[in-house]
Amino acid sequence: MSVPLPSAFRYRDVDADGVRIHCAVAGEGPPVLLLHGYPQTHLIWHHVAPVLTLAHTVVLADLRGYGDSGKPVSTSDNTTYSKRAMARDQVSVMAELGFDRFAVAGHDRGGRVAHRMALDHPDAVTRLAVLDIVPTRHVYEHADAAFSKAYYHWGFLTAGNGIPERLIGGDPEFWVRARMTARHRGGVAFDPAALDEYVRCFSDPAAISASCADYRAAATIDLEHDRADAARSVGCPVLALWGAESFVGRHYDVLGVWRAYAGDVRGEALPSDHYLPEEAPDRTAAALGRFLEA
């Protein structure tokens, strides 16, 4: 496997209560966990992570169901891929690595996992950064025609009867490359080695099934959890970053939305579409660095 990460990053697999979580670790200093989104792996951080290692111990992890992490078969109630379960995985990983308290930054699906982690494990999460998302509950409760057009995959991936699994499985490389290039607008080009890795990992039928289960969980059990916690607020400082050209940036008042879910929120738009850590890596690293040191 050829990956665009410095050799200082050491790979290991951690058993998180029976689910294998693949991760890479480098650097020294206060720990920060970086989580990826769909349809990617920890390599979305390959530009940003080396910069953060100058002052932090950086942990890059593949979410359950993605990359080289374990891919348990989903249960009918979707709890296997609930953000609660995925967050618990990552807290277990950090504890195994010796970190009971840490900052976490998540892009896309990883941001949703990180948000749930901050609610469920407030004693563990010191700071939360969310990249190009607004909370899942807000998304569903304010869905409109523009959302349905831009985020059609949210509905498609929740379809039953094996429909998305069969269709994506027919040409997973096309799906991955098409999804990503459609949401890239200027900035740094995707690294070919990273794209190849995304395709390699997503070509596993188990990964396709797991990712569909992730989205099905968002529309069901995650919403139940989020609505049950509607009166709760994230207690740690929150950084929201979004792409100035992304749907999130164009469609939502990102800071206004997050301030209804957390007490201490700051953030800014960056010159990119959806994939901030790859399209605008220098600005992303600088913003995260300032936030982690504040």
Q: 4 pLDDT band (50/70/90 cuts)?
A: confident
pLDDT of 151 above 70: yes
Cβ pair 13, 93 in contact under 8 A: no
Domain boundaries defined on the chain? 10-293
CA atoms within 13 A on the CB side of 18: 4
Average the pLDDT over 125-145 and give the result: 97
User: Which residues carry out catalysis?
Assistant: 108, 274
Give the pLDDT mean for 241-269.
97
Q: What is the pLDDT of residues 107-118, one digit of tens each?
A: 999 999 999 999
Tell me what the mean pLDDT of segment 220-224 comes to.
Answer: 97
- Averaged pLDDT, 120-145: 97
d(CA 38, CA 202): 10
Considering the chain, what percentage of its residues have pLDDT values greater than 70? 99
Q: Residue 294's pLDDT is what?
A: 81
Tens digits of residue pLDDT in 59-94? 999 999 999 999 999 999 999 999 999 999 999 999
At 187-198, the pLDDT tens digits run 899 999 999 999
pLDDT at 187: 87
Predicted pLDDT of residue 2 = 61
Q: How far apart are CA 262 and CA 232, in angstroms?
A: 8
In three-state secondary structure terms, 107 is strand
Q: Which residue has the tokens 């195994």?
A: 96
The string of DSSP codes covering 28-79 is -SSEEEEE--TT--GGGGTTHHHHHTTTSEEEEEPPTTSTTS--PPPPTTSG
Strand partners, 238: 128, 265
Q: Please determine, for residue 225, whether its predicted confidence score (pLDDT) is greater than 60.
A: yes
Q: Could you tell me what percent of the chain has a pLDDT over 90? A: 96
Strand bridging mode 238-243 / 10-16? unpaired
pLDDT per position as a tens digit, 25-50: 999 999 999 999 999 999 999 999 99
Architecture of the domain spanning 10-293 = 3-Layer(aba) Sandwich (3.40)
Task: Decide if pLDDT at 1 tops 80.
Answer: no
* Segment 248-252 mean pLDDT: 97
- pLDDT for 249: 97
Rg (alpha carbons) of the chain, rounded to whole number: 17
d(CA 69, CA 20): 5
**Contact between 36 and 62 (Cβ < 8 Å):** yes
